[in-house]
Homo-oligomer: A and B are copies of this chain.
Amino acid sequence: MTDRPTIQDVARLAGVSTATVSRALHEPGKVSADTATRVHDAVRQIGYTLNIAAQTLRQRRANALLVVVPDIGNTFYGEVLAGIEQAAHAAGQTILIADSAQDAAREAVYLSYLRNGRADGAFLLTYPQVDWDSVAPVPETGLRPVVMISEAARLEGTPRVTVDHEQASRVATAHLVAHGHRVIAHVLGPRGTGLRRPRYRGYRQALADAGLIVHPGHEIEGDFSAASGARAGAALLALTPRPTAVFCANDEMAIGLIGALARAGVRVPQDISVVGFDDIAFAACFLPAITTIHQPRRAMGTVAVALMLRILGRDGADASLQMLQTLPFALIQRDSVGPPPV
């Protein structure tokens, strides 16, 4: 890095002290209008920019927030990130995006960002594989600067913003019941995820509500990948009684499943109806377009940031904010659901 101008250079040029320069830059009210302009002119003239490392060292805060996603290639996270980024930027926070790739070692590296001061807090969109509870609480509030989004680590008091996955799954499954389906299968999410159980429970709940039973083998293992959905589709065709509808725990699996069915000559929704979860971008483009559960991704991001600011005790934080935020979901009806075949 070339030698960049420092606050000293600005001070010299403006004929003031470095303290005044700092104030002119960060506490506009505390300096006379005259010196303010002199300082700003000098800044412009020599092209001064703040040295972040020095500021972070001195302030003992990075003004940076970490976001850990399990798979950056998954489109679901894009809009959540957008929401986070916007809200964080408005609050003067930089966000660092990290892809844990579901790998504990990688996640441990990102956890270290909080210890070594690279970031002041972390958003987890992934199921934690390392001990984020080891993060030191913020002195001002006594809370750990870790916010979970969508995922649920443990029941205890980790701040969290999410939709009610169980209720959403119940609604999704009930939608199939409402279309007249009586034999409904479920493709589950992977173990070691906070999402598997609540989505499964919602499915069971909806069946119970309708007085339906789960036939043996109708709860099919999946791992949220399209490939696992395809495998589930193949498995499903061998089932007796054959399901007339399937609730997939996410859209990727729904897409893979529909593809496998199509290759076997089974049409959706004429022969089998399918509901997904997440409303990823491709759910709308797919043939057929997929009926699914939409989560308010952008809002989840902005709410999570609000939560974080409160935890950090930053200015402008809403002190009345609850540490568990449950946001509304929506069933998006498209073309993958129809009546059961006669």
Q: Residues 110-140 of chain A: 1 if any B CB is under 8 Å from the residue's CB, otherwise 0?
A: 0010011110100000000000000011110
Q: Residues 217-244 of chain A: 1 if any B CB is under 8 Å from the residue's CB, otherwise 0?
A: 0000000001000000000000000000
* Cα separation A18 to B137 with both chains bound (whole Å): 28
* Cα separation A85 to B105 with both chains bound (whole Å): 13
Listed residue (A99, A109, A138) with the most chain B CB atoms within 10 angstroms of its CB: A99
CB distance from A123 to the nearest CB of B (A): 14
Contacting residue for A73 out of B78, B115, B120, CB 8 A: B78
Inter-chain contacts of A262 with B (CB < 8 A): 287
Q: Are A79 and B85 in contact (CB under 8 A)?
A: no
Contacting residue for A116 out of B49, B57, B99, B136, CB 8 A: B49
CB distance from A110 to the nearest CB of B (A): 10
Q: Which residues of A from 306 to 339 have beta carbons under 8 Å from B?
A: none
* Cα separation A49 to B286 with both chains bound (whole Å): 48
Contacting residue for A97 out of B50, B98, B101, B258, CB 8 A: B98
Q: Is A96 among interface residues, defined by CB-CB distance under 8 A? A: yes
Q: Are A57 and B61 in contact (CB under 8 A)?
A: no
Q: Residues 40-60 of chain A: 1 if any B CB is under 8 Å from the residue's CB, otherwise 0?
A: 000000000111111011001
Nearest-CB residue, chain B, relative to A47: B115
A259 with B285, Cβ < 8 A, contacts A57-B54, A57-B57, A97-B99 known: yes
Inter-chain contacts of A287 with B (CB < 8 A): 258-259, 262, 286-287
Q: Is A255 among interface residues, defined by CB-CB distance under 8 A? A: yes
CB distance from A98 to the nearest CB of B (A): 7
Q: Are A256 and B281 in contact (CB under 8 A)?
A: no
* Cα separation A78 to B71 with both chains bound (whole Å): 8
Q: Are B72 and A78 in contact (CB under 8 A)?
A: yes
CB distance from A85 to the nearest CB of B (A): 6
* Cα separation A82 to B102 with both chains bound (whole Å): 12
* Cα separation A138 to B3 with both chains bound (whole Å): 11
Q: Is A215 among interface residues, defined by CB-CB distance under 8 A? A: no
Q: Are A116 and B50 in contact (CB under 8 A)?
A: yes
**A/B interface sample: 17 pairs, CB < 8 A:** A1-B136, A2-B137, A52-B117, A53-B62, A54-B57, A57-B57, A71-B78, A72-B77, A73-B82, A73-B281, A81-B99, A85-B99, A96-B96, A97-B97, A97-B99, A255-B282, A282-B282
Q: Which 6 A-B pairs have the closest CB atoms?
A: A73-B78, A53-B56, A97-B97, A53-B57, A2-B136, A52-B116
Binding site for B on A (CB under 8 A): 1-2, 4, 49-54, 56-57, 60-62, 71-75, 77-79, 81-82, 85, 89, 94, 96-99, 101, 109, 112, 115-118, 120, 136-139, 226, 255-256, 258-259, 262, 281-282, 285-287
Known: A73-B75, A259-B286. 7 other contacts (CB 8 A): A4-B117, A49-B112, A49-B115, A51-B57, A52-B118, A53-B54, A74-B78
